[in-house]
Amino acid sequence: MLVRKLTWPLAFLMALALVFTLFPVFWIVMTAIKPPTDWNAAPAIWIPHEPTLVNFRTLFDPNAIREYGVGGVSQAATASVLGSIFASVTATFFSILIGLFAAIGLSRYATMSKATPLVILSGRMFPPAAIAVPFVIIFSATNVIDTYSGLIAIYVAVTLPFSTWMLKSFVDDLPREIEEAAMIDGRSRLMAHLTVTIPLIRGGLFATTMLIFILNWSEFMFALVLSYTNVTTIPVQLAKYVTATAGTLYGVQAALAVLAMLPLVIGGFMIQSHLARGMTFGAVKR
Amino acid sequence: MKNNRTEIESLLTDFDAGGVSRRGFLRRMAAFGVSAAVANIIVQSPFGARQAFAAIMGSEERAWALAKEAAAKATKKSLTVLIPTGSIGNMTPYVGKWKNELGIDITFIEEPDEVVHTKGMQEAVAKTGAYDVLMPTAMSYPDWIDAGVIYDLTPWTEKYQPDIFDPQWGVVFPASHHAQLYNGRVAGLLCDGDQITLLCRDDYIRNPDKAKAFADKHGYALSTPKTWSQYRDIAAFMHDPANKFFGSLEYRSRYYVKWMFMQRLASKGRLWFDKDMNPTFNSDEGLAVLDDMMEMNKYLHPDAFSFTWSSNYNAFGRGEGFMNICWPSGFKYSKAPSTGPATSGKIAATVMPADKLKDGTLLYAGMFCWGYGYAVSKYSANPELAYAYAQWMTSPTISMDAIPYLGGYSDPYRINHMKQPTQRMIDTYSPEYLETLYNNIVNTVPDFCLPGGFEYQDALDKEIHACMTGEKAPKKALDDAARSFDRITRRVGREKVQKSWLVLAKNLAEPIKKASGADQWG
């Protein structure tokens, strides 16, 4: 195995890349533990002298920040956190489930037109803003506007092309012969896919699941447009932290952003070995 | 109002019967929170105190009576109000009264201010009925009325008389027309007097060393600027970036910068269109305005290119500039010690500076921009109740009580807010600033309160911003904006926009009509 020696220029470039990548995270975490007086102090306060958890408490108790003389926060973030978890987890599950079987079908049973994969991808070939209004009309007519089922349906529809294409590439890279061997051993087609294909592409499956979850978790536009009073998610809630007396509540926004990052970071660590495999799956062509 | 109505009525009866002296009456009315000016109107009324008090209280009482009736009939015992973030504090103090006395739950849905218009337009197709009352800026009314999102309130205003045109406590003209009417019909009831005025640091003006140095340099006394050229002189003189103190904090950020342009253009006697809907800003006056703005860029706060209304207020409140062009809530927050730690008690304000016209006369013009109001959703389950809420909240008495709350950015808009203020209103704004507001609002020109208004506004804003950041030359920016305006006019319909524009132009202050030539438009 070829091991490249870490040279000083390379180390410097890597450190630069790390600083560039992690600085926004550092800044958000620091802002999340700053008291209101430090949020937009000039010159900027990099690390707060008196760190506080008041921004996090304000997410669930809007009056908590009054101890710093900031009023006007009217909504707790609880509903948006729960809403985001419910909508993202459910939509990711259905997107992966449907995408997985679509991927196997497209890869192994080319019964449909060769253009079918492109047709599926065409759903992502125009900006989401272009389809927002038609969705509002359709969802209003079918009474699913401002419901989680409506939001989940659109999340699945929007992410399905990604999940299908990504998973198809993983299935394509798996030799058919392995599945055929399983069928020779007496397994049905379905069982061969369930017990052979899917376990063998699990790295790619985890990587795709993570990507789809991130897309759903951070989605703003559809959640904003399709929600009124019953549905809310974290990205929509983030935009609402503005009060008359304190302006934009940067600290509270940062606290919610930190909270929003946590499941992704934890999930990423838990499946990092699969992720690494998934990212490199098929990198070496047969 | 924060007073005991029964006790006030008993006092009125006693006064009419001669049982209470004039001085005793005024003293006791003051104790009930009624302003001296209102109490004086009541005392002097030839029709008797009860009747005079009933007159100014009439709008609130008629609204409350309607609310009671509508609440009793309503099957859905709630009202949902769509509001922009940052405004809630003017409304929450009354939620308990509506719940306790009418059994109506009031729920506020907050959306970022730039989203409110879109959410309203969305109702045109979604028809969810999720909102009963909507709180847009005046620019939303034309599109919302045309899209069938909100009611024409005229039949209700004729029946329940919200006193919006009353000469003593109505909404100040011309805001009464620009910010509430669409083609002469009432589309919404104003709840926020969004005009821009000029704030200055009074402590610096009073500094004798600075005053002398300024007078020596410029040959006239240092004070609040009377003209745009004085404004620039003073900004340059006070600009001290080494000590993080800047000449002015006016906006150069996207979404806000067009108002800085429009304000200066109006001061030159130019409006946005001529009578045939041809854009008029791509002219010598428009270019002069851009030159002036670019010259001013040298003396602005470095965050001017990213200011939102709130970050601007915060920076001024922290003492980072000598002048600020902002909404009255900017004064409110820089006066309050909690939000203006460096500026409380140190602010002098003035009407927007004038510009010299070709004939040598000075033209004072203001900008009425934003200006939130209550509209009633066509898809509300309880439209009468929703209207009653709008009239009640904007009545001369309740609005006088609501505006001083710091938790919301509503500003004075009725004559009595400025001319007959309560002590709370005076404490929040100061008598001098309320007078300034009145003097400025009577000369205000309207925002794009026209069909397609948001598109016009965005097209102009984009180009002015491009010019300020150096992406485009001034002439090209204005010509491009004019081309966009022509496209929008063609698409929306020239006749439709023109009709609306001529109605707006008809209701301008006389000096502005004359300077712009709108007095000849017929």
For B362-403, write each residue's pLDDT tens digit.
999 999 999 999 999 999 999 999 999 999 999 999 999 999
Cα dihedral across residues B35, B33, B442, B201: positive or negative: positive
Which residues in chain A are closer than 8 Å to B128, comparing Cβ atoms?
Answer: 140, 145-146, 228
DSSP state of B351: P
Assigned CATH topology for domain B63-193+370-419? D-Maltodextrin-Binding Protein; domain 2 (3.40.190)
Distance CA A159, CA A144 (A): 19
Model confidence at A111, pLDDT cuts 50, 70, 90, reads low
How close B46 comes to chain A (CA, Å)? 43
Model confidence at B505, pLDDT cuts 50, 70, 90, reads very high
Distance CA B494, CA B274 (A): 12
Which residues in chain B are closer than 8 Å to A144, comparing Cβ atoms?
Answer: none
Model confidence at B47, pLDDT cuts 50, 70, 90, reads low
Question: Are B429 and B354 spatial neighbours (Cβ–Cβ below 8 Å)?
Answer: no
Predicted complex: ipTM over 0.85: no
When scoring B90, B106, B122, B372 by the number of chain A Cβ atoms within 10 A, the one with the most, hence best to mutate, is B122
Which residues in chain A are closer than 8 Å to B309, comparing Cβ atoms?
Answer: 247
Question: Are B320 and B312 spatial neighbours (Cβ–Cβ below 8 Å)?
Answer: no
Question: Are A219 and A154 spatial neighbours (Cβ–Cβ below 8 Å)?
Answer: no
- Helix count (H) and strand count (E) of chain A? 14, 2
As a whole number, mean pLDDT of residues B403-427 equals 92
Q: Where are the domains of chain B?
A: 63-193+370-419, 197-367+460-520
Q: Of A50-64, A123-137, B179-193, B389-403, which range is least confident? A: A123-137
Q: Which residue, among B189, B217, B173, has the nearest Cα to B438 in the 3D structure?
A: B173
Search chain B and give the residue with CA nearest A232: B109
Residue B341 near chain A (CB below 8 Å): no
**Residue B235 has what pLDDT?**
98
Distance CA B421, CA B37 (A): 7
As a whole number, mean pLDDT of residues B53-60 equals 82
Search chain A and give the residue with CA nearest B302: A42
Distance CA A200, CA B376 (A): 59
**Residue B37 has what pLDDT?**
66
**Residue A38 has what pLDDT?**
87
Backbone angles phi and psi of B433, in degrees to 5: -70, -35
Distance CA B167, CA B488 (A): 37
As a whole number, mean pLDDT of residues A123-131 equals 82
Please give the full DSSP string across B139-184, using - where no structure is assigned: THHHHHHHTT-B---HHHHHHH---SS-TTTSBPTTHHHHTTEETT
- Other Cβ atoms within 10 Å of B229 Cβ, number: 14
Model confidence at B257, pLDDT cuts 50, 70, 90, reads very high
Residue B409 near chain A (CB below 8 Å): yes
Res. A281: pLDDT tops 70 = no
Nearest-5° Cα angle at B404, B399 to B407:
105
Amino acid at site A285: K
How close A58 comes to chain B (CA, Å)? 16
Residue A40 near chain B (CB below 8 Å): yes
Q: Which of B118, B311, B406 sits opposite A247 (nearest CB)?
A: B311
- Other Cβ atoms within 10 Å of B215 Cβ, number: 12
Q: Of A172-181, B2-11, B194-203, which range is least confident? A: B2-11
Amino acid at site B224: T
Question: Are A224 and A132 spatial neighbours (Cβ–Cβ below 8 Å)?
Answer: no
Most confident of A2-16, B121-135, B175-189: B175-189
Residue B127 near chain A (CB below 8 Å): yes
Distance CA B479, CA B485 (A): 10
Residue B308 near chain A (CB below 8 Å): yes
As a whole number, mean pLDDT of residues A136-158 equals 93
Q: Which of B126, B127, B310 sits opposite A248 (nearest CB)?
A: B310
From 1.10.3720.10, 1.10.15.40, 1.20.120.420, 3.90.850.10, which CATH number describes the A81-231+274-279 domain? 1.10.3720.10
How close B487 comes to chain A (CA, Å)? 21
Which residues in chain B are closer than 8 Å to A242, comparing Cβ atoms?
Answer: 85-86, 112, 310
Q: What is the pLDDT of residues A191-203, one digit of tens each?
A: 999 999 999 999 8
Percentage, residues of chain B above pLDDT 90: 82
Which residues in chain B are closer than 8 Å to A133, comparing Cβ atoms?
Answer: 122, 125
Percentage, residues of chain A above pLDDT 90: 59
Residue B121: which residues within 8 A CB-CB, separation 6 or more? Answer: B143, B144, B147, B149
Residue B131 near chain A (CB below 8 Å): yes
Most confident of A2-11, B51-60, B403-412, B498-507: B498-507
Please name every residue paired with B445 in a beta bridge, in sequence order, or none if there are none.
B367
Which residues in chain A are closer than 8 Å to B125, comparing Cβ atoms?
Answer: 133, 136-137, 140
Task: Please state the CATH superfamily assignment of the domain spanning residues B197-367+460-520 in this structure.
Answer: Periplasmic binding protein-like II (3.40.190.10)
Distance CA A226, CA A219 (A): 12
How close B94 comes to chain A (CA, Å)? 15
Map residue B356 onto helix, strand or coil.
Answer: strand
Distance CA B349, CA B434 (A): 10
Model confidence at B469, pLDDT cuts 50, 70, 90, reads very high
Q: What is the pLDDT of residues B72-96, one digit of tens each?
A: 999 999 999 999 988 999 999 999 9
Same fold, B63-193+370-419 and B197-367+460-520: yes
Res. A253: pLDDT tops 80 = yes
**Residue A286 has what pLDDT?**
45
CA B240 to chain centre: 31
Q: Which residue, among B83, B86, B89, B73, has the nearest Cα to B109 in the 3D structure?
A: B83
Map residue B107 onto helix, strand or coil.
Answer: strand
As a whole number, mean pLDDT of residues A158-181 equals 92
Model confidence at A269, pLDDT cuts 50, 70, 90, reads confident
Model confidence at A112, pLDDT cuts 50, 70, 90, reads low
